[in-house]
């Protein structure tokens, strides 16, 4: 993932976070989708985050999960991906 913005462009992580938080404008959504299909780390991270988000919503009666639970789940998944 590109972590250095070039000429005022947002980084991968900024784009990803805006998408996941639902804060991306329609133009930013289009920009990220175009980027994501050419950047495998962004594609994988976005899809993983969406699956986790949807799973937690369905298991928590739509109320969402506590942030610390989400962080623990993500840490365990990342740990398993490293091994």
Domain range list for the chain: 12-82
pLDDT of residue 63: 66
Q: How far is CA 83 from the centre of its chain?
A: 21
pLDDT tens-digit series, residues 28-48: 999 998 988 888 988 898 888
Tell how far CA 14 is from the center of its chain.
10
Mean of the pLDDT values across residues 15-26? 87
Q: Report DSSP state, residue 9.
A: P
Ramachandran angles phi, psi of 62, nearest 5° = 75, 0
What is the rounded CA–CA span in Å between residue 2 and residue 74? 21
């Amino acid at each position: 993932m590109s972590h250095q913005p070039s000429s005022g462009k947002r980084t991968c992580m900024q784009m990803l976070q805006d998408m996941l938080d639902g804060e991306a404008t329609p133009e930013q959504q289009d920009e990220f989708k175009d980027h994501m299909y050419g950047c495998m780390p962004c594609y994988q991270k976005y899809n993983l985050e969406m699956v986790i988000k949807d799973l937690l919503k369905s298991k928590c009666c739509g109320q969402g999960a506590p942030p610390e639970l989400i962080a623990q789940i993500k840490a365990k998944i990342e740990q398993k991906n490293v091994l």
